[in-house]
């Protein structure tokens, strides 16, 4: 299976043509250059022509491709004030002070880049580029280059997912469990930490919007006066490469145009230089490797600090390699060897390396996990404290503050990490997770860069959040409306309760699906509850199922279709196997809250709503109310009922409220080529299209029928639930007249043998090989109920549709299909011959529907791994690692009001009211006492 993926990749990589790519990494720092040059090297080795803009020159470019350097030295300096940091001093600096500092540094570097003579030379040359890759690092004005070169913009984030770009691509990042990169917290924050994190997030967003972006816009306009404002260019990112991976970083939600490539910069270990190799090979007690990275100059540490460290290191049985920026240190013990530079990756790869003493920069943290070496972290600034906190949380090492260092503390920590095997075990386990990925990160980097170039951008991956103003995204208008007219809410609720009670009297089991076309989605809530309970109970007591339970079978994994049957999750517990859910109708609220997947109702319609992401106020109101009501229904009615059913068969298992939140993975039957792009937590895997097989030969008579249809074939099927013969006589007449007028032949899936008045061009059958018909070159149009399978298949084979949605998610699918321009939609209850004929004529004769669906078909087929392979890979992954807790976001551990930060917001509201009251009180006291004293003066 693995070889098939690699083979597939080789074919993809081998087939591409050479593109010209501009890569910009302007930060004057060793680690940023490692990342930038690794991007350039990876793309050059894949056959592309790469121009790297950076402060450094590449001494050793790949021999077999085109590497061009645009070297910009001196970006961190300006005439007034050189920024000379002693990075050590920053250890105790408040992150709040970093905000203005980063603004200032960003403006300086951006301006210095744009006016640098080497940069200007490149601008004035006639170079063209097919894509721009820019390191997002307080340099947003440089995004103008994508506009200038008319090339798609790819951002690169060296610091994992963070608030510098999250709002610019609509990526949700709840401050309730995702610490800002400059905060030293993990996902497990106390109230005060969350308060600080929230305030920091708000302040830095305000700083960006009100101070930093306007300044960047001015700098940009100085050099490019005629371009659109930064407020436009800033929201036009095709893709973001993120230097992170769940084996080292916290799992967080990601929108579809974020691609994690953490670890891509790591190369297979090379032979060490001879003397270093001998030194390490001879170290029978092991080696401690000590490096504070490329920014910190260790010789700047205080004398006493150095003494403490030297004593502690001298006591070790291990040999020590210390990256030190001077030739020697007075009092250096014999077991310590200094050098200004070490081949870090190759040292970490050496079997004798026992421990890495590190500043825990992101590169060092990723490398140490990759090679499986425990760490002692001395975080100094930037994201280092965050990385250290997560490393400690993951149990791969300990962290010490460099300023509170004593010889004793250091010796204790060293002894603990070297002697307690748990650190090594944890880091080895994480190392396995880092290596276990369906596609190597270098290959992902190449694949998605070429993808964006091939498709000239990737707007279909951009979530609709980008089109919403912030108060609409946060639904503040809807919430305000609800707060004001809460009466309406109560009335609606009572109305629904009454409906629930009434509908219990009806006979629910025999559906006429056609009748459901005009049914309110709100009525579906109790109906689905009831259906779910019946199916769950019937399955658990079915004799064949009981036979399976009573046999001695064991299973390595359970894959369960999540469909109102949560009680069945007990099987994962029963068989002690990891639980994998399967969602047949895309990402939806049936499982989103159970795995902590954010799904803002401001732009993501509920699956039963007939809306797209572009909702009016009233539609958003309905969508929000529906989302809240169905969640309340699940928590208060449905889950307790499922729990009772479950306990009826398995009395001794934990409550459903526990089993429900223990999902290892969710396979989602969706793909951005047909479904709306939405955020996904890392344990959601999109496999939409996996059920489609290569087309087979049609049965002989059908093949002849289709081959002979020189004017084309219209294929008409309302799926397997709807019985078309149940439609009214008049509806059938309308349809028959419209179909009879077509020049095209028609295949109609019909549940009886014939229809009176059937025109000659129409052929009926109770069953058709749908995929093979859609794959036929003569198929011009698919008249469909737009179930998710049909919608995926029609996009896969590139056939435009006329949707006649009936119930469930079909209206949603139809709305998206129309929004994507791949067809039209008609309501079955309001169908007339004229409407139908008009729609058929429009879709068949206007080429735009065919073009749009062909373009989407290309997108569906352009994926780094085939969906069938993903299904196999991730199932085996979950079994190999006995679950996947490292992919579960921390949102699962928070009660809802903490997740929504309601406690923090309430605190801020109450305390600001108190503050205002206090302030007024004091002001009045002051004024009044002045008045009084004035009066006193007058009296006197």
Ligand X SMILES: *[C@@H]1O[C@H](CO)[C@@H](O)[C@H](O)[C@H]1NC(C)=O
Let me know: does 238 contact 257? Beta carbons within 8 Å: yes
Least distance (Å) from ligand X to the CB of residue 238? 6
Q: Does 232 bind ligand X (CB under 6 A)?
A: yes
**Nearest CA among 302, 293, 107 for reference residue 214:** 107
- Cα 837 to Cα 38, 258, 569, 791: the distances in Å are 58, 43, 48, 22
Least distance (Å) from ligand X to the CB of residue 46? 6
* Of 40 and 871, CB closest to ligand X: 40
Let me know: does 242 contact 258? Beta carbons within 8 Å: yes
Let me know: does 590 contact 633? Beta carbons within 8 Å: no
| Binds ligand X by CB under 6 A, chosen from 457, 688, 689, 823 | 457
Strand pairing class (258-260; 131-135)? unpaired
Q: Which residues pair with 339 in a beta bridge?
A: 323
Q: Residue 174 is encoded by which pair of tokens?
A: 């709840």
Least distance (Å) from ligand X to the CB of residue 349? 19
- Cα 860 to Cα 236, 673, 675, 804, 866: the distances in Å are 22, 5, 11, 23, 10
* Of 236 and 291, CB closest to ligand X: 236
Least distance (Å) from ligand X to the CB of residue 171? 18
| Binds ligand X by CB under 6 A, chosen from 57, 188, 278, 931 | 278
What whole-number distance in Å separates Cα of residue 111 and Cα of residue 76?
Answer: 10
Q: Residue 781 is encoded by which pair of tokens?
A: 């149009």
Least distance (Å) from ligand X to the CB of residue 332? 16
Q: Does 441 bind ligand X (CB under 6 A)?
A: no
- Cα 266 to Cα 42, 155, 185, 349: the distances in Å are 11, 20, 27, 11
Q: What is the three-class DSSP state of 754? A: coil
| Binds ligand X by CB under 6 A, chosen from 138, 234, 236, 888 | 236
Least distance (Å) from ligand X to the CB of residue 418? 21
Phi, psi of 473 (to 5 degrees): -60, -45
Which residues are CB-neighbours of 333 under 8 A, at least 6 positions away? Answer: 310, 313, 314
What whole-number distance in Å separates Cα of residue 796 and Cα of residue 399?
Answer: 51
Q: Residue 21 is encoded by which pair of tokens?
A: 């790519």
What whole-number distance in Å separates Cα of residue 781 and Cα of residue 823?
Answer: 9
Q: Which stretch binds ligand X (CB under 6 A): 229-237, 347-355, 860-868, 916-924?
A: 229-237
| Binds ligand X by CB under 6 A, chosen from 11, 15, 60, 64 | 64
* Of 146 and 713, CB closest to ligand X: 146
- Cα 438 to Cα 241, 354, 406, 465, 923: the distances in Å are 17, 29, 45, 29, 66
Least distance (Å) from ligand X to the CB of residue 283? 9
What whole-number distance in Å separates Cα of residue 816 and Cα of residue 805?
Answer: 12
* Of 460 and 811, CB closest to ligand X: 460
- Cα 167 to Cα 8, 67, 209, 315: the distances in Å are 35, 33, 11, 50
What whole-number distance in Å separates Cα of residue 940 and Cα of residue 736?
Answer: 105
Least distance (Å) from ligand X to the CB of residue 37? 14
Least distance (Å) from ligand X to the CB of residue 278? 4
Least distance (Å) from ligand X to the CB of residue 47? 4
What whole-number distance in Å separates Cα of residue 190 and Cα of residue 199?
Answer: 14
Using CB atoms, what's the residue nearest to ligand X? 457
* Of 453 and 843, CB closest to ligand X: 453
* Of 64 and 328, CB closest to ligand X: 64
Interface positions, 27-46, toward ligand X (CB under 6 A): 45
Least distance (Å) from ligand X to the CB of residue 143? 9
- Cα 773 to Cα 661, 701, 745, 779, 781: the distances in Å are 42, 13, 13, 7, 11
Which residues are CB-neighbours of 470 under 8 A, at least 6 positions away? Answer: none
Binding mask 145-184 toward ligand X (x if CB under 6 A, else -) reads: --x----x--------------------------------
* Of 147 and 306, CB closest to ligand X: 147
The distance of Cα 427 from the centroid of its chain, to the nearest Å, equals 25
Q: Which stretch binds ligand X (CB under 6 A): 185-193, 233-241, 256-264, 427-435?
A: 233-241
* Of 152 and 867, CB closest to ligand X: 152
What whole-number distance in Å separates Cα of residue 397 and Cα of residue 393?
Answer: 9
Least distance (Å) from ligand X to the CB of residue 443? 11
Q: Which stretch binds ligand X (CB under 6 A): 91-99, 278-286, 579-587, 806-814?
A: 278-286
Residues in the chain: 940
* Of 6 and 232, CB closest to ligand X: 232
* Of 97 and 232, CB closest to ligand X: 232
Q: Which long-range contacts (CB under 8 A, 24 or more apart) does 758-764 make?
A: 762/736, 763/705
Q: Does 6 bind ligand X (CB under 6 A)?
A: no
Q: Does 62 bind ligand X (CB under 6 A)?
A: yes
Q: What is the DSSP string of 3-68?
A: HHHHHHHHHHHHHPPP-EEEEE----SHHHHHHHHHHHHHHHHTT-EEEEEESS--SS--TTSEEE
* Of 334 and 510, CB closest to ligand X: 334
* Of 50 and 417, CB closest to ligand X: 50
Least distance (Å) from ligand X to the CB of residue 122? 19
Q: Which residue is listed with tokens 């309501």?
A: 827
Q: Which stretch binds ligand X (CB under 6 A): 227-235, 326-334, 495-503, 877-885?
A: 227-235
Least distance (Å) from ligand X to the CB of residue 133? 13
Q: Residue 92 is encoded by which pair of tokens?
A: 């105790």
| Binds ligand X by CB under 6 A, chosen from 282, 339, 518, 861 | 282
Which residues are CB-neighbours of 119 under 8 A, at least 6 positions away? Answer: 53, 70, 72, 113
Work out the widest C-alpha separation in the chain, in whole angstroms.
Answer: 118
Q: Which stretch binds ligand X (CB under 6 A): 277-285, 396-404, 434-442, 504-512?
A: 277-285
Q: Residue 389 is encoded by which pair of tokens?
A: 């906190």
| Binds ligand X by CB under 6 A, chosen from 224, 279, 489, 661 | 279
Q: Does 10 bind ligand X (CB under 6 A)?
A: no
Q: Does 47 bind ligand X (CB under 6 A)?
A: yes
* Of 443 and 809, CB closest to ligand X: 443
What whole-number distance in Å separates Cα of residue 456 and Cα of residue 150?
Answer: 10
Q: Residue 935 is encoded by which pair of tokens?
A: 């009066």
Please tell me the count of residues contacting ligand X according to CB under 6 A. Answer: 15
Least distance (Å) from ligand X to the CB of residue 79? 33
What whole-number distance in Å separates Cα of residue 301 and Cα of residue 58?
Answer: 31
| Binds ligand X by CB under 6 A, chosen from 228, 331, 508, 819 | 228
Q: Does 561 bind ligand X (CB under 6 A)?
A: no
Q: Which stretch binds ligand X (CB under 6 A): 117-125, 231-239, 321-329, 613-621?
A: 231-239
Binding mask 180-219 toward ligand X (x if CB under 6 A, else -) reads: ----------------------------------------
Interface positions, 238-267, toward ligand X (CB under 6 A): 238
Least distance (Å) from ligand X to the CB of residue 314? 18
Q: Which residues bind ligand X (CB under 6 A)?
A: 45, 47, 62, 64, 147, 152, 228, 232-233, 236, 238, 278-279, 282, 457
């Amino acid at each position: 299976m693995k070889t098939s993926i690699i083979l597939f990749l080789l074919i993809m990589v081998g087939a591409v043509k050479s593109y010209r790519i501009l890569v910009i990494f302007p930060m004057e720092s060793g680690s940023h250059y490692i990342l930038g040059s690794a991007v350039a090297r990876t793309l050059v080795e894949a056959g592309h022509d790469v121009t790297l803009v950076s402060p450094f020159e590449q001494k050793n470019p790949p021999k077999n491709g085109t590497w061009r350097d645009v070297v910009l030295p001196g970006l961190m300096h300006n005439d007034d004030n050189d920024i000379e940091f002693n990075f050590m001093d920053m250890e105790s600096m408040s992150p709040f002070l970093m905000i203005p500092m980063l603004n200032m540094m960003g403006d300086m570097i951006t301006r210095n880049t744009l006016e640098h003579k080497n940069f200007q030379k490149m601008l004035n040359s006639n170079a063209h580029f097919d894509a721009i890759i820019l390191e997002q690092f307080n340099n947003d004005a440089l995004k103008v280059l994508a506009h200038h070169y008319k090339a798609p913009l790819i951002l690169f984030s060296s610091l994992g997912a963070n608030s510098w770009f999250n709002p610019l691509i609509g990526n949700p990042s709840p401050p309730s469990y995702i610490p800002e990169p400059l905060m030293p917290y993990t996902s497990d924050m106390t109230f005060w930490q969350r308060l600080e994190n929230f305030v920091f997030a708000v302040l830095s967003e305000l700083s960006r919007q009100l101070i930093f972006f306007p300044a960047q816009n001015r700098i940009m306009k100085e050099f490019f006066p005629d371009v659109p404002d930064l407020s436009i260019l800033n929201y036009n990112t095709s893709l973001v490469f993120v230097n992170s991976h769940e084996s080292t970083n916290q799992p967080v939600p990601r929108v579809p145009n974020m691609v994690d490539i953490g670890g891509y910069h790591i190369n297979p270990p090379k032979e060490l230089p001879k003397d270093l190799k001998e030194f390490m090979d001879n170290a029978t007690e092991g080696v401690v490797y000590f490096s504070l990275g490329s920014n910190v100059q260790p010789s700047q540490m205080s004398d006493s600090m150095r003494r403490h460290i030297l004593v502690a290191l001298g006591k070790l049985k291990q040999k020590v390699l210390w990256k030190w920026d001077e030739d020697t240190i007075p009092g250096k013990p014999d077991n310590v060897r200094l050098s200004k530079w070490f081949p870090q990756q190759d040292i970490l790869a050496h079997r004798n390396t026992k421990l890495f003493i590190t500043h825990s920069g992101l590169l060092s943290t990723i490398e140490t996990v990759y090679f499986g070496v425990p760490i002692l972290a001395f975080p100094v600034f930037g994201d280092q404290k965050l990385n250290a906190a997560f490393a400690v949380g993951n149990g791969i090492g300990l962290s010490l503050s460099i300023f509170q260092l004593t010889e004793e503390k250091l010796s204790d920590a060293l002894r603990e990490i070297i002697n307690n095997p748990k650190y090594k075990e944890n880091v080895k386990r994480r190392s396995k997770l880092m290596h276990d990925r369906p596609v190597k990160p270098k290959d992902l980097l190449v694949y998605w860069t070429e993808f964006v170039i091939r498709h000239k951008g990737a707007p279909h991956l951009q979530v609709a959040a980008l089109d919403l103003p912030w108060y609409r995204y946060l639904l503040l208008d809807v919430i305000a409306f609800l707060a004001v007219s809460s009466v309406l809410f109560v009335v609606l609720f009572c109305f629904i309760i009454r409906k629930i009670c009434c509908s219990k009297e009806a006979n629910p089991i025999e559906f006429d699906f056609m009748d459901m076309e005009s049914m309110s989605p709100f009525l579906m809530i109790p109906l689905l509850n009831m259906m779910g309970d019946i199916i769950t109970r019937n399955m658990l007591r079915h004799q064949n199922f009981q036979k399976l339970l009573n046999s001695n079978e064991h299973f390595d994994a359970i894959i369960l279709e999540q469909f109102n049957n949560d009680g069945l999750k007990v099987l994962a517990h029963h068989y002690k196997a990891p639980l994998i859910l399967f969602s047949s109708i895309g990402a939806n609220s049936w499982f989103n809250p159970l795995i902590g997947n954010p799904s803002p109702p401001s732009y993501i319609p509920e699956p039963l709503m007939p809306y797209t992401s572009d909702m009016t106020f009233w539609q958003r109101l309905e969508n929000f109310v529906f989302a809240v009501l169905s969640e309340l229904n699940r928590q208060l009615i449905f889950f307790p009922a499922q729990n009772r059913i479950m306990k009826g068969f398995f009395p001794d298992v934990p409550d459903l409220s526990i089993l429900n939140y223990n999902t290892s993975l969710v396979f989602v039957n969706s793909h951005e080529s047909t479904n709306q792009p939405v955020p996904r937590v890392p344990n959601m895997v999109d496999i939409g299209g996996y059920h489609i097989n290569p087309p087979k030969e049609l049965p002989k008579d059908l093949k002849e029928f289709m081959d002979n249809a020189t004017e084309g074939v219209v294929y008409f099927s309302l799926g397997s639930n709807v019985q078309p013969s149940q439609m009214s006589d008049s509806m059938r007449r309308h349809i028959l007249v419209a179909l009879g007028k077509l020049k095209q032949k028609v295949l109609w899936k019909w549940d009886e043998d014939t229809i009176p008045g059937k025109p000659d061009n129409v052929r009926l059958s109770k069953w058709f090989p749908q995929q093979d018909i859609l794959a036929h070159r003569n198929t011009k149009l698919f008249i469909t109920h737009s179930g998710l399978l049909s919608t995926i298949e029609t996009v896969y084979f590139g056939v435009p549709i006329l949707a006649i949605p009936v119930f469930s998610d079909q209206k949603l699918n139809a709305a998206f299909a129309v929004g994507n321009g791949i067809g039209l939609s008609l309501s079955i209850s309001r169908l007339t011959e004229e409407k139908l004929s008009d729609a058929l004529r429009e879709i068949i004769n206007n080429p735009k529907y065919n073009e749009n669906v062909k373009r989407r078909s290309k997108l569906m087929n352009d994926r780094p791994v085939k969906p069938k392979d993903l299904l196999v890979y991730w199932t085996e992954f979950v079994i190999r690692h006995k679950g996947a807790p490292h992919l579960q976001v921390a949102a699962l551990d928070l009660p809802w009001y903490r997740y929504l930060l309601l406690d923090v917001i309430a605190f801020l509201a109450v305390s600001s009211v108190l503050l205002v009251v206090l302030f007024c009180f004091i002001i009045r006291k002051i004024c009044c006492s002045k008045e009084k004293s004035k009066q006193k003066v007058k009296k006197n």
